[in-house]
Chain A
Amino acid sequence: MRQKLLIVLAIVACFAFGATMAHAEKLTLGLKGEPTSLDPHFHNVSANNMQSLYVFDKLVRQDNRQKLEPGLALSWKPVSDKVWEFKLREGVKFHDGSPFTAEDVKFTIERIPNVPNSPSSFTGFVSNIQKIDIVDPTTIRFTTEAPAPLLPRQMAAFPIISKKNAEGAATEDFNSGKACIGTGPYMLVKWDRGDKITYKRNDNYWGEKMPWEKIIVRPITNDGTRVAALKSGDVDMINFVPPADVDGLADNKKLTLSESPSTRLIYLHLDTDRDDSPTVSGNNGEKIKNPLKDFRVRKAISKAINRRAIAGRIMDGLAVPASQMVPDGYEGTSTRLKPEAYDPKGAKALLAAAGYPEGFKLVIHGPNDRYVNDADIAQAIAQMLTKIGIKTEVNTMPKSVYFGRASKLEFSFMLVGWATDTGEQSNCIGALLHTYDKEKGFGSSNRGRYSNPDLDATLEKALVTVDPAKHNELIIKATEMGIGDLGIVPIHYQVNVWGSKKGLAYNGRTDGYTLPRDIKVTK
């Protein structure tokens, strides 16, 4: 009798234990995008950058609000104006057991500009490094051409690969797994293109231990299918829950949702440069001098937009009205800038003061497959502008057509989005508000050709000011100038939503990444 009881107990224990084991063994993620390559230096897009963090580490890490924290480097400091010293973590091993040293860092930085056929490379993050000195295996110094306050940020933009395994390796060798050997929390098992990427835990990881022995990442691009996969239990967690599905999933008792604001800013870019702008005309379709050059008209447009209504109705609450280029609380954001209040009366008065009491005609151009509800936002803005007398037409198109035409300056008034990968503001100011300057590489996405010499000078000064406090002050000044002039009109920051089964919680990230280290097991 007693023996029987023991056996039963043993069986029950086995099952109970087995159940908890099964829970911890495998995690299946259904993610929106698929990386184009597992070579971490081949294509600078977020799907690739996120996936590379499963296998690789960076010298400097970004936390879920994109603040910098130690990664493979324990500390860093400027030794002089043009020299930065990084102290590396000791005892870190690559997946194949070989030790991580300063040699690997040097190798990585030297490889980045030489990845063949890279459609969008990481060269910009290392191009100002003139000289790399290995002081000892755990100390490395970078000498830059000009003072480089953003160097630690740049070091947080690309992962470190292993010299031993990646020397002479091509992009294909990373895809096949041969060279895809990092120091990260997971090791690549296999990439079945289009279907899944399988990882297994790196038990010698220097950082936090992960509860899952195996992670399977499945790319599910179709929004409906991704949600269905979560509901049916095929995957444990999904990213980019479409706003329309949020309420339905929130009611589901088997699931939990988590959300986080993102750095993705949706804004309007206005042609502030040309007198004769292509898609602005008088009320009868006649040519007029471009009214968008007038600050009062821009201010009127900004006041006419009801950002709360857009966030609430069009975005189902999944947007935060924006005041500048990255959300509040980030390094280098201004506390003086606030989202423009909705004020149609004031807008009309400003239009009249600018000499357009009857308004004018405008076409708003935008993509319809790039940002969350992009075409609907354009519609809403058109209605709001029409209300104050600017008769606005909407013309949206697929992103593959849109961005090319926008860059050729075929539009006067466009809806665009921007997300900072570096987690600070200077990169947006440089690309969107600095005067277009092909030589110096500024204003690459300044499609409105806004130009303000004071802003240019302030930004350029900030970019060589190593002292963090002074650097931030200059960045804030430049932001206030550009946004104050309405060089761009900020609308909102998107909010990202993750859905997971009960028992998991996600500490949402502003960069929108889905990383194992931010997934918490709640029971």
Chain B
Amino acid sequence: MLAFLIRRISQSIVVLLVMSVLVFGGVFCIGNPVDILIAPDATPAERDRAIKELGLDKPLPEQYMRFLKDAVQGDLGNSFVYNEPALKLIMQRMPATMELAVTAMLMAVFFGIPLGMIAGIKSDTLLGRSIMRFSILGFSLPTFWVGLMFIIIFSVYLGWLPSGGRGETVELLGVPVSFLSWDGIRHLILPAMNLALFKTSLAIRLSRAGVQENIQMDYVKFARAKGLTNTRIIGLHVMKNIMIPVVTVLGMEFGGLIAFAVVTETIFSWPGMGKLVIDSIGVLDRPVIVAYLLITVTMFIIINLIVDIIYSILDPRVRLGDQN
């Protein structure tokens, strides 16, 4: 286990380093932030001063080395636009995104798994087929379109829920959260539903396949023969077995949910990290873009690591140590 961890962490550092070069080089190629940030009627002297203050006059390798030196000390640079540390800006926005992602994930789990199990058990009934059709829709409809439809239906026509924004927040351990106030929950429902749609469909498909596979297994037949109730067989024994792949896949998907909630956040003007990075790309705020991508990569690395470890605990046949 220890050897695995050490190997994994050293691999991660290499990945991060390669990623930082790619991101830095890539962002550098897109364009020069100077042309967007500085007022077009600024005098050349004024331009030169701003370029110098932002450190854009140095050659790329020098800029990169300076970035790397600071990054090792936990400083990912100052945003050009906000003049505040990029890391701080992203961390300020992170709770909003996390809240949205967690809510979406819970929705996916609470609706997706039971619905998938129903679809698996009653696969040839109208109900089962309807659930599957819904999941196909959930997979294939583009997120931005569904989001706009949600707004048109639930906000504009029915007037039930607000069309965007975060609503009232309550401080929980110093972090502002929405789910503790009614106004906050009302604001959370639509974007979370929008974000959850795809994952719910995924959970439906996974658990349906799992149920259909397990229901044929000998242990189910054995349990039936022993006279266990259907509820107990499905709800306990089958459930446990289908959970392994569902947890693994959803665990991996959770990273994606946090990193790529961009579309939903933009449509619902949800003040999360995704919206920040989109705005930053618009004005080529290099430090924020680089910091965001590096944080995302780190997050994926950590989630993968945790998933691997959990998997080895759930299924002892998978060993993390060195096979050779």
Contacts and interface: CB of A to CB of B under 8 A. Distances in A.
Contacts of A444: 40-44, 47
A399 B83 contact: no
Interface string A218-230: 1111101100110
Given A399-B36, A403-B36, A225 B164 contact: yes
Nearest to A36: B81
A404 B53 contact: no
A214 interface: no
B207 interface: no
Contact of B53 (A43, A117, A171, A229): A117
A26 interface: no
B37 to A, nearest CB: 4
Nearest to B44: A438
A218 B156 CA distance: 18
Nearest to B162: A234
B151 A232 contact: yes
Indicate the member of B36, B37, B96, B276 with the most A CB atoms within 10 Å.
B36
Interface in A91-131: 116-121, 123-124
B269 A228 contact: no
Given A120-B39, A232-B163, A404-B35, A222 B269 contact: yes
A234 B165 contact: yes
A406 B31 CA distance: 11
Interface stretch (B130-138, B198-206, B280-288): B280-288
Contact of A37 (B31, B83, B284): B83
B80 A119 contact: yes
Nearest to B53: A117
A231 B47 CA distance: 42
A233 B46 contact: no
A245 interface: no
Contact of A225 (B33, B268, B281): B268
Interface string B28-66: 001111111111111111110110011000000000000
A195 B95 CA distance: 13
B298 interface: no
A199 to B, nearest CB: 16
Nearest to A230: B163
Interface string A364-380: 00000100000000000
B269 A418 contact: no
Nearest to A233: B159
Contact of B151 (A228, A441, A445): A228
Contact of A116 (B44, B83, B169, B283): B83
Interface in B265-291: 266-269, 271-272, 275-276, 279, 281-284
Interface in B236-282: 266-269, 271-272, 275-276, 279, 281-282
A120 B271 contact: no
Contacts of A418: 40
A229 B164 CA distance: 7
B99 to A, nearest CB: 13
Contacts of A121: 42, 46, 49-50
A228 B163 contact: yes
A119 B44 contact: no
B53 to A, nearest CB: 5
B157 to A, nearest CB: 9
A461 interface: no
A276 interface: no
Contacts of A124: 41-43, 46
B208 interface: no
A441 B43 contact: yes
A366 to B, nearest CB: 15
A164 interface: no
Contacts of B281: 400
Contacts of A171: 83-84
A482 B159 CA distance: 54
Given A117-B78, A225-B163, A232-B151, A441 B83 contact: no
B92 interface: yes
Contacts of B47: 444
Nearest to A440: B43
B234 to A, nearest CB: 42
A232 B159 contact: yes
Contact of B166 (A45, A195, A439): A195
Contacts of A451: none
A167 interface: no
17 contacts: A36-B81, A44-B39, A117-B78, A118-B50, A120-B38, A124-B42, A192-B169, A194-B272, A222-B266, A224-B151, A225-B266, A228-B151, A232-B156, A234-B155, A234-B162, A404-B34, A404-B36
Per CB-CB distance, the 10 closest pairs between chain A and chain B, nearest first, are A194-B271, A441-B43, A232-B155, A403-B35, A195-B271, A119-B37, A404-B31, A404-B32, A404-B35, A438-B44
Given A229-B269, A232-B155, A404-B36, 9 more contacts: A36-B82, A118-B53, A119-B54, A124-B42, A124-B43, A193-B271, A195-B269, A399-B36, A400-B282
Interface of A: 34, 36-37, 42-45, 116-121, 123-124, 171-172, 175, 192-196, 218-222, 224-225, 228-229, 231-234, 369, 399-401, 403-407, 418, 421, 427, 430-431, 438-439, 441, 444-445
